[in-house]
Structure 1
Amino acid sequence: MEIKFHGHACFSIKDGKTVIVTDPYDESIGLKMPKLTANVVTISFDSKAHSAKDVVDGNPMVLNWPGEYETLGVHFKGIHSFHNTKEDKEQLENVIFTINFNGIRFCHLGAQGTKLTPEQLEQVGDVDVLFVPAGKTESVDAKKAKEIIEQIEPRIIIPMTYHTEGSNRNLASLEEFLSVMAAKNTEPVDSFVVKKSELPEDNSKVVVLESAN
């Protein structure tokens, strides 16, 4: 099973002929969205940076609401959460997605802006691969991202929504997240192949993906 990063919060997860794409974006954010074809697209947050579903080919099923879904043998769960805190004038809704794909358990936090509640944490359950935002201005910052990681205890951590070349979003750097995590051996790779038998048993591992645009 192969994971590729396409910028911001957009990833493709592919196994055989089944492809899942998360949070495709509009090019108005300054990044070039590649041509992708998918069976399923998940949308976590209603903004141009997360919900440009029409740019993905293949007439995919689009999931953008809390609930449980199953297609092509893949189980999806959308969990209601918030992009910002109760202190803000208007709380904006976010959807956390868990994806059980051929025995690998993924969790994409979308534009999550707070730590998880006990109820959300219970719904998320065990996670093998966590896609975690660390951009500060549009989601949690690096320190809060670390707190969420400590809540979930995933085996693999893949950061997203940090500043990349070309982006016009006001985002924190990847280096800030890696420093807070005290992550080592994080040389970016073009793609990451996930195998159940090779997942770390004890400690979480941070994997940094180059944008495959």
Structure 2
Amino acid sequence: MPAAFRPAALAPDQVRLTYVGHSTFLIESPRLVRVATDYNDYVKPPVVPDIATMNRAHSTHYTLAPEPGIKHVLHGWRDDGKPAAHDVTHGDVHVRSVATNIRDWTGGGTVRHGNAIFIVEAGTLCIAHLGHLHHTLTAQQLAEIGRVDVVLVPVDGSYTLDLDGMVEVLQALKAPLMIPMHYFSRYTLDRFLDRVRDLYAIELAETPSLVVSKATLPAQPKFLVLPGR
């Protein structure tokens, strides 16, 4: 671990979330188990994670050459077309996946089970990373996801789900805290925030990292914008 990256210890009910950029977050548990979402070759966390989740929409969401120190590499797809169904426990962290479909970028069709939503349970929190979501969620998918406290949301409105569709997903999930990602530019981020401003409170954070627990979740659903790219 680099000497410059020595975060303060977490209480047993806390989780540290750091927005690395694009769709990559570093999630750290009280026992410092580290999960990196949409781990790839371009946007990387400052430490090698214990668990890396990936989706295959574009090369900025996965790598086929992960660092050897990663203990669990979880692809959000399977080469045989069946749904990825991860259910992994490492230390005090539990990670599971819910399969979703993806656009076929070459033929314009749909690849069933081509991506996954990853749910990370750590501390007292349940965190859902929506990945490169291309469609609204079915009742079965919502049931498989279950109750979540924090949702990491792609808000570009074009490469992933359109703005109205993403709002429908968020209203179905009913998470107290939502954090935007995958927005490319301030214009794209502001376009999404303008769409949800009448529905949710919005807060702009000064740093890309926060410590959160069940006790510190907002009383009313809120968007927290972490600086990133």
Distance 1:155 1:4 in 2: 18
Give the AA of the match of 2:188: S
Task: State the Cα deviation string for residues 141-187 of structure 1 (Å, max 9, x = none).
Answer: 2222111100100010011111148xxxxxx7100111111054422
Map of 2:81 onto structure 1: none
Unaligned runs of 5+ in 1: 166-171
The answer to whether structure 1 residue 206 and structure 2 residue 212 are counterparts is no
Give the AA of the match of 1:3: L
> How many residue pairs were aligned?
200
**Normalising by the residue count of structure 1, what TM-score does the alignment of the two structures yield?**
0.84
- 2:86 corresponds, among 37, 51, 67, to 67
Map of 2:190 onto structure 1: 175
Map of 2:3 onto structure 1: none
- 1:51 corresponds, among 48, 62, 71, to 62
Unaligned runs of 5+ in 2: 1-14, 76-83
Map of 1:76 onto structure 2: 95
The CA RMSD measured in Å over matched residues stands at 2.4
Retained in 1: the 8 A contact 2:176–2:218? yes
The answer to whether structure 1 residue 90 and structure 2 residue 104 are counterparts is no
Q: 1:57 to 1:185 in 2, by over 3 A?
A: farther
Q: How far 1:194 sits from its partner (Å)?
A: 0.7
Query: Which structure is larger by alpha-carbon Rg, 1 or 2?
Result: 2
**Normalising by the residue count of structure 2, what TM-score does the alignment of the two structures yield?**
0.78
Q: 1:173 to 1:52 in 2, by over 3 A?
A: same
What is the percent sequence identity of the aligned residues?
25
For the residue of structure 1 that corresponds to 2:171, the secondary structure is helix
Map of 1:10 onto structure 2: 24
Map of 1:154 onto structure 2: 175
Retained in 2: the 8 A contact 1:24–1:56? no
The answer to whether structure 1 residue 133 and structure 2 residue 147 are counterparts is no
Give the AA of the match of 2:134: G
